[in-house]
Structures are given as structure tokens and as C-alpha cells.
Homo-oligomer: A and B are copies of this chain.
Amino acid sequence: MSMDKSLDVLFYPKSVAVIGASHMPEKVGNAIMRSITLKFSGKIYAVNVKGGEMAVNGKRFQVYRSIKEIPDNIDVAVIAVPAKFVPAVIDECGEKGVKSAVVISAGFKEAEKSELEEEVVRRARKWRIRLVGPNCLGVTNLENGFDCNFNPPERQARPPFGKIAFMSQSGAFGAAILDWAANHRIGMSKFISLGNMADLDESDFMKYLGDDEKTGVITGYIEGVKNGRKFLETARRGTLKKPVVILKSGRTEAGAKAAASHTGSLAGSYAIYKAAFEQTGILEAKSMRQLFNYAKALAVQKPAKGDRVAIVTNGGGAGVMMSDGLLERGLKMTELTEETMRKFEEDVKAGRLPRHMSYRNPIDVIGDAPASRYEIAMRYALEDENVDALVVIALFQSPALGEGIVEKVGEMQKYRKPIVFVAPGGEFPEKMARRIEKSGVPVFETVEDGVDAIYALVKYGEWLRETGNYELFI
């Protein structure tokens, strides 16, 4: 693995300087200090031309007038000074030997100040400093708490550490995603707000995240790629290492117009993007929820060996909806083997399974099913060679279904086939979901979310098989 060290230091700095640090709560430079001092255990230095002292989260900081005054090496500079001062700050960073800079400051290309932005890049190149931004929310590493996001935690929660990396060409949307993921207990590894991408762009981070051991799935919101050829080459390699899921907006004429006035990306036609995603094995999500349904499934479950799906459910209606959902996305409801049918038949005859259950696919264990009945049905389905992936639907509103299902589902992981769990409803299903997810089986709130999950596992499996990488990956 050829890990780009200049990017690695960006997420794992030993020492950081916040340039533009402020004691005034309403300032961005104050918010960044509050974020960065919450969990990060590396060394943190405050810099502001005014000097003095400041206190953040109960810690006192001497404020250096310049980064050059700091009596220590600095790996990363987080820059939140007015745009016009950024070029000079970059020079100081260069003299200090800083490796990477996160430029939070706005007022560049997005404010029709392209020349100023170019000047910043020129100076950064001269000093071999890699840049994130400008005009961004910075980076957040959920593993070590290195977080220069300026939205305060009471407005924007941070998700737990997990396997999904997310990069965003929209800072505000990225912030909403972090907040949303935290609320839905979706674990994230790293977040990157790409900003104007004056230097580092979506392809650079896709490459880095592809090699990052802490990232299991790469996700991204993009309006347009900066360099088409670079993107294609990076994606082609990246998707063989791990799944890449992209939400591309600006798909319609109105959307493309809006994107042009937002990030200035002249998107090119959506058809070109679509073709690029297909050629490189990128999974395209059409909405925020779909992006995370895909990612959540891919983060914990193996890609499927084929597209033949079985369903086990205690609600007939939910089974019908799931069947529709799978077929409408081009997947197959499998036909169970004769052998499996015989196993079910014998259990019904012996009274181990109820007479009126249906054991054609969907396997309907009926509303009064206890966990033990689910166990039999899941086992027979997973032992069936015609089954590539299993959806388990549990309507926990029936008191017959006890908490024993949690353990039973966990045990099914031994079959090494992807399993997706769907548990619609309110508080009780949510409580069960949290416990089931600890065993590595992802749980979804609605049938349609579950369809997304299975779709992603099947499609990524297809891509790996097409490229001859499935066996390696598994």
C-alpha cells in the first residue's frame, strides 16, 4: 500500500496550530478551538496576531502572535483568518515546516476572488503544503477526535467512530449529514468538507480513503468532479479495494443550473457521470437516505455472490412489499430448492412449524412466530444453495416475538451470506435494532430501506465478480 503521507498527517497530526483562534464565542476561530479541544489528544496551539491568552473547554492556551513563535513542530495548520491574510499565513506556515493546511476561511473563488485563491495555491505549492479548502468545514477524524468543524456540538452532533468515510462538496450538507448520522447511530471514520478544492480534491481523498484501514466504505456528495481523467483512474482502483458510493447532484437541467451557481461546477451532462459510475463500479445513490442505506449495509456485510434473495417475515404484507421492492430494483426472489422445501414440509408435519405458514419465498413464519421459529426459517434459507442473500423482517409489535431473536440472528452470520434486517416501528424495534447491530447485521427502519441495503450488497458483489475480484475480496 502506497499511503500518501501528506494526507495521512492531515488526519493524524501530532501537533496542530489554529490560526485565527479567538476568545470571542461568536467567531469561527473560537468554535474551531472548541471542537478541536473536545477529544483530540494531540498538541494544540492557538495563534492570533493579537496574542494574549484564552480558555477553551476548561483548558488555558497561550495565544501566539505568529505560528513561527510556537516552540514546537507543527504538522497541520487550521486557518481561519480573513481571506486577504491567507497568502501571508501560508508563507509563515511554510517557513515553519507545516505539512498540511486546512483553510476554513471563505471569500475566495466562491466570492469571485479567483486570483486570491490562485495566489494561496501558488504559495502552498512553493512550500509543498497540501491544502484542504478554502471555504470549507475542514476535516473530522472520528477516530482520534481531530475535528476542526466550526459548528458547535449542540447544533451539530458528531457521529460515533465507525467504518464509513464521507466527503462533501457542500459544507452545509456535510454538517447536516454528520448531525443526521449521529442521530441514527451511523458510525463514521473520517469526514472531509472539500470546499473550493483549490488543491486537494475528491479524487485525492478517494485515493487516500481507499488505502485507509479504518475506512470500510467511501461515500461522497459531489456536484461535479474537478478532473475527469483523474477521477476515473482513482475510482477504478478504489472500487476494487472497497465500495464507493456517490450522491451526484445536478442531474437535471434545473439542478445543474443550481449547481453552477453553488460550487461553480460546470457539471457536464449527467449521462457522462452515469456512464463513469458504471464503468468504474461506483454505486450511485439518488438521495441522502439511500446513500447511507447503501453504506451502512456495505460497511458490515459481505457483498453477495449473486442476486437471488430470500425473505423471512412474520408479516405477510411486509413480505409482499419487500418482494415488489426487490423486483423493481432488478433483483431476484429466489426459488428455494426442493430439499429446502422438504425440510420445511417435514417440520410442519412434525408440528415444529405451524400448518398455515408459507414456506415458499417469502417465507412467512406468521404473526405469532417466536424467535425459535425464525431460527429454523433463517437456517433453512441460508443453507439453501439458491440463496445469495437473506432479508429478515420482524414486526416486533407482536408480543410473541421475544428478544431471543437478537442472538439467533447473530448466529446466522456463520453462513457467511449477507443478511439485512428490517424492523419497522417505534421504540421497541429501535432498542432491538441497536442490539442486533452489535452482531454485525444492519437493521433498517422500513422495507424500502432494506431494499436499498440488499441492492447495494448485490451490486457491489456483481462488480467484484465482473472484475474478477470477488474471491480476493471475500
Contact = CB atoms under 8 A, between A and B. Distances in A.
Interface of A: 31, 110-112, 151-152, 154-157, 168-173, 175-180, 182-183, 221, 223, 247, 249-255, 257-259, 261-263, 286-289, 314-321, 323-328, 333, 356, 358, 360, 362, 364, 367, 395-399, 424-430, 445-448
Contacts of A157: 426-427
A395 B175 contact: yes
Contact of A320 (B178, B259, B395): B259
A424 B247 CA distance: 16
B426 A183 contact: yes
Given A288-B446, A328-B251, A446-B288, A170 B316 contact: yes
A106 B154 CA distance: 51
A175 B424 CA distance: 10
A323 B258 contact: yes
A168 B320 CA distance: 13
A288 B155 contact: no
B398 A249 contact: no
A169 B317 contact: yes
A362 B262 CA distance: 10
Nearest to A177: B424
A446 B173 CA distance: 11
Given A446-B289, A448-B288, A327 B180 contact: no
Contact of A327 (B172, B247, B255, B319): B255
A429 B262 contact: no
Given A151-B398, A176-B397, A288-B448, 17 more contacts: A31-B399, A110-B356, A156-B397, A168-B317, A170-B318, A179-B426, A183-B426, A223-B317, A223-B320, A247-B321, A252-B323, A254-B333, A258-B362, A259-B320, A262-B319, A287-B325, A288-B424
Which 10 residue pairs are nearest across A and B when measured between Cβ atoms? A170-B317, A262-B316, A172-B315, A183-B426, A179-B425, A255-B324, A252-B327, A175-B397, A173-B317, A156-B397
A223 B155 CA distance: 43
A319 B173 CA distance: 10
Nearest to A253: B327
26 contacts: A155-B399, A170-B316, A170-B317, A170-B320, A172-B318, A179-B428, A180-B425, A182-B426, A183-B426, A221-B317, A223-B317, A249-B324, A250-B324, A251-B324, A251-B328, A252-B328, A254-B323, A254-B324, A254-B326, A255-B321, A255-B327, A262-B317, A262-B320, A287-B447, A288-B448, A289-B446
A176 B318 contact: yes
Nearest to A429: B179
A320 B364 CA distance: 42
A259 B154 CA distance: 47
A356 B111 contact: yes
Contact of A425 (B156, B333, B399): B156
Given A154-B428, A254-B326, A397-B179, A263 B316 contact: yes
A173 B319 CA distance: 10
A173 B395 CA distance: 7
Contacts of A169: 317
Contacts of A31: 399
Contacts of A425: 156, 175-176, 179-180, 183
A71 B321 CA distance: 47
Contact of A397 (B151, B319, B429, B445): B151
Contacts of A360: 257, 261
A156, A178, A314, A320: which has the most chain B beta carbons within 10 Å?
A320
